[in-house]
Amino acid sequence: MKKKIAVFTTGWCSEILSQFLTGMQRSLIKENVDIFLFLCYPTYVDTPANKRGEVNIFSLPNLNDFDGVVIFGSGLDFHNIIESIIKRSKEAGIPVIIQGAQHEDTYFIGSDNYSATMEMCEHLQKRHDVHRIIFFAGTADSLDSELRLKAVKDYLDANNASEDLVEVFYTKWENAAVTRYINEFCKAGRELPDAFICANDGLAMETCISLNKNGYIVPDDVLVTGYDYIDDSQIFDPSIASVDQCFTKMGREAGNIWMNIFSKNESHDSSKDSDAGSNNNIDNNSDSNTISKSHIIPCEFIPGESCNCYKYRNSDKVRRRVGREAFTKRAMTTYFNRKLNLIDSTVLSCLTYQEFKTKLKNLLTENHDYEGDSFHVILEPNFGLSIYDQNIKLRKYGYSRYMEVLYSTEDGDIFPDDHFPSRELVPGYKGDKSNQKNHMYVFLPIHEADEAYGYIVFRDCMEKVENHYIQTYQSRMGLVFDKFRHALSLDLINKRLLEVMRRDPLTNVNNRIAFEDKVKFIQSEINSDSTPKFAIAMFDVNNLKLVNDSYGHDAGDAYLIRACHLICDIFKHSPVYRIGGDEFVAILTGDDYDNYKGQLDAMNNMMSQYSDQLPLPNNYISIACGIAVYDPEVDDAVLDTVKRADEEMYNNKTRMKSKDK
């Protein structure tokens, strides 16, 4: 069996995450190991419900099925979630590696941010004579950000310059917060510091842009530094002076730790099978088998153009490389956007849930170049049911035991079933083939607020993680699923309301509103020079007032229902409408139209003899009827035919009363 490692993080730090994972995969290349990356994109400004909907993907895996866990702390600042993952890992009895933050009973991999930040401060002070600093921090509970801030403070304190730190502003890792701050800063006419030290490269680049929009040039007017040394900051103008945290090296070290853990476990398992007195036994508690709990990777401060240092690196070389790649990326972006638009139009054109499943599955089957031959769309079983019944609720934590498979291919093989156990995570997963190439599966949630719709799975898509395509795909998929669900639910509600509005509650036939709509439709056919063949049959239930007054309204209602049943039984191929208290109308077409005279005779034979004398016979039914056939030579409108039928009905009522007398 292949070993399985679960990785938990958010995707906003996509470039450093991809560096870390690349390093880890390279270290594990000789092991049979698959990485399962549980990825989401919550933000600090999200509603609590949306945050829950995103991080719900972390609850998907059963950690008893895994050999280890990695928490990439540089992208996951939610400490309650980290605690929960560690607790689940302990319960499953598997080791945990945390990057970026130390925790008891886990392995730790970090970078020496502190020393590199001290080096940065020394460079700014001694080379550029920086004495006034504004620090753009991330969040107050971010260990990375706070460690960098502490290093700045410690350096200044050690050099008797603590007053040089003019201000610390917490951005919550939002570039927009930097823009607002600098706009207000400049509007207030405040004096620029000598340098802005930013907690990551994204904040640093936004600082340069915002300053430029307010008339200031970096580095001429002020210096700017960042952290992470990502590609975007290297090609940015000016290139950002930054701290390279060596995430690829951290990933390699994580892989090395796993190699040691796996080797140690295998040695331990072998020792169980050997003779207890054998000299080959390995003492797993001996120093030779102890794996260090803490692993620190040295960082390096790399000056750049944003701190007025041009000789430390060749930024133009990196820019030319990115320029060469721009065409390919632009072509991919164009194709990617077209695919997303096609998914949107396909889903939103569907009028039923079954049509939605069929059309989207066919689309992905015919064209999955972007998604690849291993791609899966998994839905909650109540996703479709909740569309048709508002009382059926979707899960707000975790995922159902059995999930619905909307689309699933693994190595090009289509998964044959409609449902599968969610504990298996990937339909058709071939983890039992230990000689198979190592893979990385990426799981992303589909949801609306905190309601889980399901999840999607990509495989071996590092570049899609890095360039945020995968996040765009996830968010667009969730958005279009939500639009479809709400549009179909609203349509069904409207149809049901319309049905209620058009239905007579007593007799359950159509009412006057429905009749008037039908008249308008037939009139539209007449107006378009069509010559529809129809007749209007008007009915008036005799002696309803007598029944109500003599026997009560319940008896009157029963009388109306009996009369309506008779009309419907005779003119069974035509719609019947109740248009008043005792009035009904039928629009005769087809066989009812061709044979209306014989059917009218049949109805007369089935009715009671007209009488207005009490007591009336049991099951008494007496109905006056008038029928008029539409004649384009006589009738300019449908209502002309209705009027003639109404006149004939009253003539029939008069004849019935006269006959009785």
Tens digits of per-residue pLDDT, 114-125?
Answer: 999 999 999 999
Contact (CB, 8 A) for 343 and 407: no
The number of helices, as runs of H, and strands, as runs of E, in the chain is 20, 23
Beta-strand relationship, 413-414 and 68-72: unpaired
Burial class (CB in 10 A: 0-12, 13-18, 19+), 523: middle
pLDDT, tens digit, 9 for 90 and up, residues 151-209: 999 999 999 999 999 999 999 999 999 999 999 999 999 999 999 999 999 999 999 99
**pLDDT band of 562, cuts 50, 70, 90:** very high
Q: What is the mean pLDDT of residues 322-329?
A: 73
Q: What is the mean pLDDT of residues 496-518?
A: 88
Question: DSSP characters for 99-155?
Answer: ESS--TTSEEEEE-HHHHHHHHHHHHHHHH----EEEEE--TT-HHHHHHHHHHHHH
- Whether 220 has a pLDDT exceeding 50, the answer reads yes
Q: Which of 75, 150, 68 is nearest to 115 (CA)?
A: 150
Q: Where are the alpha helices (DSSP H) in 315-440?
A: 315-348, 353-366, 382-388
- pLDDT for 431 equals 79
Length of the chain: 661
Beta-strand relationship, 107-111 and 133-137: unpaired
pLDDT, tens digit, 9 for 90 and up, residues 406-429: 999 999 999 999 999 999 999 999
Q: What is the mean pLDDT of residues 627-656?
A: 94
pLDDT, tens digit, 9 for 90 and up, residues 127-154: 999 999 999 999 998 888 999 999 999 9
- Whether 274 has a pLDDT exceeding 60, the answer reads no
- pLDDT for 261 equals 92
- DSSP-assigned letter for residue 438: P
Distance in angstroms (rounded) separating the CA atoms of residues 164 and 184: 21
- pLDDT for 466 equals 87
**pLDDT band of 247, cuts 50, 70, 90:** very high
Return the axis-axis angle of helices 315-348 and 353-366, rounded to nearest 10°: 140
Quote the distance between the C-alpha of residue 548 and its chain's center.
Answer: 58
- Whether 278 has a pLDDT exceeding 60, the answer reads no
- Whether 497 has a pLDDT exceeding 80, the answer reads no
pLDDT, tens digit, 9 for 90 and up, residues 430-467: 877 656 789 999 999 999 999 999 999 999 999 899 88
- pLDDT for 268 equals 58
Q: What is the mean pLDDT of residues 12-35?
A: 93
Residue type, 645: A
Contact (CB, 8 A) for 307 and 195: yes
Predicted TM-score (pTM) of the model is 0.72
Beta bridge partners of 511: 578
- Whether 71 has a pLDDT exceeding 90, the answer reads yes
- pLDDT for 435 equals 63
Residue 137 contacts by C-beta under 8 Å, 6 or more apart in sequence?
145, 146, 148, 149, 168, 169, 170, 171, 199
Longest Cα–Cα distance of the chain, Å, equals 123
- Whether 284 has a pLDDT exceeding 70, the answer reads no
3-state helix, strand, coil in the chain (%, to 5): 50, 20, 35
Contact (CB, 8 A) for 428 and 396: no
Q: What is the mean pLDDT of residues 603-630?
A: 91
**pLDDT band of 605, cuts 50, 70, 90:** very high
Distance in angstroms (rounded) separating the CA atoms of residues 361 and 124: 57
Average pLDDT of the chain to the nearest whole number: 90
**pLDDT band of 270, cuts 50, 70, 90:** low
- pLDDT for 361 equals 94
pLDDT over 70 percentage in the chain: 95
- Whether 287 has a pLDDT exceeding 50, the answer reads no
**pLDDT band of 601, cuts 50, 70, 90:** very high
- Whether 27 has a pLDDT exceeding 90, the answer reads yes
Q: Which of 97, 18, 92, 22 is nearest to 61 (CA)?
A: 92
- DSSP-assigned letter for residue 189: T
- Whether 269 has a pLDDT exceeding 80, the answer reads no
